[in-house]
Amino acid sequence: MGDTKNKQPAAPAPSANPAPTKKPANGVNWLVYLVPVLLAIAAGLYSFQADETPEIVLSKGPRQLAVNMSAPLVDKYRSDVVRIQTRKLLEIDATCAEPTLLATNVHITTVLGQTAALREANAVLLLLNGENEGVQYEWNAEVGCLHALAKAAATTLGSDPDYFPNGLRLMNSDGRPITTAAELDAERIAYILVDFQLWVWPGIEVGHSRIVDGTTLTTLSLSPLVYGVEGFFTSDETDFAVELGLEHLQRSPVDSTEAKDGYHADRTSFTAFLDDSAYTRDFRTRTSSLARLPSPVYCERMQLLRYQTGQFFRKHEDYFSSKNFVEETTSAVADYEAWATWAAATIDSLPEAVPVEVQEGHPLYPKVADKTRWQHALLRAFLADAAETSYFEAKADVEWGDWIKVNVDNKASGILEQLLASKDYMLPDIVAAWEKRARLPELHYTFPKKPPSAVSQYFRWIRWAKERVEDVGEAAPVPVRTYGRDYPTYRMQFQTKLIKFVLEDHTKEELAAIVGSDWADWLEANKDANDALLQILRKVPAMFDAVVEAWTRRAGDLFTYTKPVQFQHFEPNRFVTMFLYLNDVPEGGETVFPYSKERLVTGIEREGMAECSEGLAVPAKRLKAAFFYDQTGQNVLDPRSLHGGCPPARGTKFGANLFTWNADADEGSNAWGFGG
């Protein structure tokens, strides 16, 4: 039996111009980044010593904190921080009629504060999670039918209807659930969340401010989505964070394949994660509440940072990408060929109404065997549309956009196959560019969906099981409660427990009938290995049913799970970041977002970090914070969240990270192999 580790597809033959090299997660060029550091060392601006006197003056006397630091700390899984606010799904009513669509592309700013006018017009505005444009539907409170309304609007807005059976929710502008007609009527603006989507605050427009839990959020950038924060923490809390972490500061590690020892020249700051305490739990609770996340455990413990003069953290994402939970396979080239073959056959079957440019004999007529003329015409259309929408910038794939253009201009052969082998996500957008020019509904193509992987099913089931434990409450058997030995978690140890259950419940022959004899032997030999369950799930999907059955046998019928047909892949990862500025920096120390088109500060020059002059730079001001999303409203990783910590030109910068996840942060960290 072959190795279960991920295998990379064979590399395509080179074109006239080689494709961009895939960069490692948070990867860097050592020489480019090391030179500024060496210069800074020579100039006395940078030191690897962690015990230098910080340039910060801490206030004297007792701290006024929101918590009692002397009170005994209860185990996390027996405390309130592990409690989950479960989803409030809308109920389906088969008697409801399809609502009437009134308007599309309605920006939220046109209806803010217009509740009475919307009610008078029997209208509601519905938007997808985190979005600023939506659709208006006819609706009045007497009708109700919230699920039918949400379903119709989500479909119109382009959400995937295959995910709707997993549940639809409505949220108001304060990120709170709407479950009744009266609650929708109160504001007549609602956001639609599908399945397990987590709330994302809509930016509205740059400069827009809202008050959430006594904290002011001001939109600084819409793409990436960045907020300035005021009123979230106090001066005493600031000083206490520094006191707690100062003696524990160490050189900051990075998650990069190039960081062989865990450290890298692109990050020269010092960090310390604060110990679990009433103080850090209070910040976990407040941060999760501000972000409207289901539980305080979605937030990591506070991380203290110190940047001395000349120290920095070059541009990076906060989310992780160094591990592939789902085996990397791509069928994009085959999918492309199937689409092109279908499109050509459909054109041939249609009357002469087909636009001339896509008719046979013209450049945009699909022809799989044509590796030059047809592919060049198709990619030129794609490039034209991409330029209008800043597509490659939004995807953080500018180099690939340049690569396509150069190879099309050079009339290289077989560009599309090479592109799709590395960037398969572009195929639907390439096809959409062609359909835009074909201008016929008959030529719209729907790509066949593949079933979700067993690893995706596993992570979603844990998400569901945690929520189910909360909903069932005292009716849940003690072993599966939050403090029980069988409570579902994302930790590797839970994988081992599930494998043990399966081995206990089945004879070797029975197990071989489920997963095959080779995998049955492998499972027995590797039952205690890290990620052993994920490895077999990648190869033998039937193993998922076996582990769910084994756990449910112990949990009871209240935990019977119905496996969904389709859903969006989910894995634990960081979701939104809060960065607290703990002191005023005399000069420098900004947080920079290179992909943002907004500007707060201009003319920035920071030695060793050229990106500080690009994009949005948030200044380091005491008692303020930056709050920015690592994922989009559709809960997918957002490469536009790329950011960096600029070096102080003078003085020392102290800050604190509050990283939140789309799952229990400690368990998610463990799933990635970082401890937790």
Per-residue pLDDT of 287-336, as tens digits, reads 999 999 999 999 999 999 999 998 888 889 999 998 999 987 778 999 99
Contact 163, 566 (CB under 8 A): yes
Summarised one tens digit per residue, pLDDT across range 69-103 is 888 999 999 999 999 999 999 999 999 999 999 99
SS3 state of residue 17: coil
pLDDT band at 43 (very low <50, low <70, confident <90, very high): very low
pLDDT tens readout for residues 609-654:
778 888 899 999 999 999 999 999 999 999 999 999 999 999 999 9
| Alpha-carbon distances of 486 from 477, 480, 666, rounded to whole Å | 10, 5, 17
Query: CA 254 to CA 47: how far, in whole Å?
Result: 18
DSSP structural state of residue 218? E
DSSP for 512-562 reads HHHH-HHHHHHHHHTTTSTTHHHHHHHH-THHHHHHHHHHHHHH-GGG--P
pLDDT at 395 over 50: yes
Cβ burial, residue 473 (10 Å; 0-12/13-18/19+): exposed
CA dihedral in degrees (556, 559, 560, 565; nearest 10)? -160
Which pLDDT score is estimated for 257? Answer: 55
Tell me the mean pLDDT in the region 496-521: 97
pLDDT by residue (tens digit) across 230-250? 999 999 999 999 999 999 998
Secondary structure class of 205 (helix, strand, coil): coil
Calculate what percentage of the chain has a pLDDT beyond 90: 79
- 354 pLDDT exceeds 70? yes
Residue 525: predicted pLDDT: 97
CA nearest 452: which of 322, 570, 549?
570
Bridge partners of 653, per DSSP, are: 307
Long-range contacts of 52-57 (CB under 8 A, 24+ apart): 52/308, 54/242, 54/246, 54/306, 54/652, 54/654, 55/308, 55/651, 55/652, 56/242, 56/582, 56/583, 56/652, 56/654
Tell me what pLDDT residue 61 has.
64
pLDDT of residue 539: 95
Domain coordinates in residue numbering, the chain: 56-85+233-252+273-319+632-675, 101-206, 331-443, 454-559
pTM value?
0.88
Tokens representing residue 167 in the block? 């549940």
Angle between helices 427-438 and 373-389 (to 10 degrees): 100
pLDDT band at 258 (very low <50, low <70, confident <90, very high): low
Quote the tokens at residue 366: 């699909």
Secondary structure class of 280 (helix, strand, coil): helix
Mean pLDDT of 526-545: 97
Q: Above 80 in pLDDT, residue 574?
A: yes
How far, in Å, CA of 340 to CA of 344, rounded? 6
Q: What CATH class is the domain 101-206?
A: alpha beta
Concatenate the DSSP letters of all residues of 324-359 into one string.
Answer: -SS-----HHHHHHHHHHHHHHHHHHS-TTS-GGGS
pLDDT confidence tier of residue 8, bands split at 50, 70 and 90: very low
What's the pLDDT at 19? Answer: 65
Structure confidence at residue 561 as a pLDDT band (50, 70, 90): very high
Confidence bin at 7 (pLDDT 50/70/90): very low
For 106-125, write each residue's pLDDT tens digit: 999 999 999 999 999 999 99
Could you say which DSSP state residue 637 is in? B
Q: Are 139 and 123 in contact (CB under 8 A)?
A: yes
Tokens encoding 631? 């994922």
The encoded tokens of residue 39 equal 């210069």
Nearest to 424 by CA among 442, 444, 450, 406: 450
Ordered alpha helix ranges (H), 357-426: 373-389, 391-394, 398-409, 415-422
Please compute the mean of the pLDDT values over residues 517-529 and round it to a whole number.
97
* Average pLDDT over the chain, rounded to an integer: 89
For the segment 516-521, the average pLDDT, to the nearest whole number, is 97
86: exposed, middle or buried (Cβ count in 10 Å: 0-12, 13-18, 19+):
middle
pLDDT of residue 63: 78
- 6 pLDDT higher than 50: no
Q: Express each pLDDT in 169-181 by its tens digit.
A: 999 999 999 999 9
Assign 20 a pLDDT band (cuts: 50, 70, 90). Answer: low
**CB neighbours of residue 365 within 10 Å:** 20
pLDDT tens-digit profile of 415-469? Answer: 999 999 999 999 999 999 999 999 999 999 999 999 999 999 999 999 999 999 9
